[in-house]
Amino acid sequence: MTLSLFLLAYAFHNQALLGPSLGMIATACLMVYITCFAFSMGPIAWIIVAEVFPLRLRGRGVAAATLGSGISNTVVSLTFLSLIKAAGNAVTFCIYGSLCIVTLFFVRLVMPETKGRELESISAELELTVDKP
């Protein structure tokens, strides 16, 4: 996702050199981005949300995560065209590429590993982490 956004930003920055092939490059970059999102952050975010909250808080946690996702999507939808108009295509996609990098660090450093673990053990570990002073 990150690479496709930065490649798209590079293509828009060098659109004079690319000429008519810019449209094909932009389409390919967006297709790669959507494909990568569809098998990574899109569905996995919903799986993680269901796994990391303890049973007693799962309903509220999933509701809060859904609200956060909806707010994030709304902010992107409402600001995208304004950002392109104000900063240009290249800068806009560099910003979104940078946000992908931030997301990568967040997932690597903050999110717990859940592969091969039971929900109860994940919940117990997270409760111990939260209860520490």
pLDDT of residue 130: 54
Mean pLDDT of 92-119: 86
Mean pLDDT of 12-22: 89
pLDDT of residue 101: 96
Q: Is 92 helix (H, G, I), strand (E, B) or coil?
A: helix
Q: Is the pLDDT of residue 131 over 60?
A: no
Q: What is the average pLDDT value for the chain, to the nearest integer?
A: 87
pLDDT of residue 50: 81
Q: What is the pLDDT of residues 51-96, one digit of tens each?
A: 777 778 889 989 999 999 999 999 999 999 999 999 999 999 999 9
CATH class (in words) of the domain with range 2-131: mainly alpha
pLDDT of residue 126: 65
Output DSSP code: residue 117.
-
Mean pLDDT of 108-116: 77
Q: Is the pLDDT of residue 128 over 70?
A: no
In percent, the amount of the chain with pLDDT more than 70 equals 91
- Domain definitions of the chain by residue range: 2-131
Q: How many helices (H) and strands (E) does the chain have?
A: 7, 0
pLDDT of residue 8: 95
C-alpha 98: how far from chain center: 11
Q: How far apart are CA 63 and CA 29, in angstroms?
A: 33
Per the structure block, which two tokens stand in for 117?
């673990």
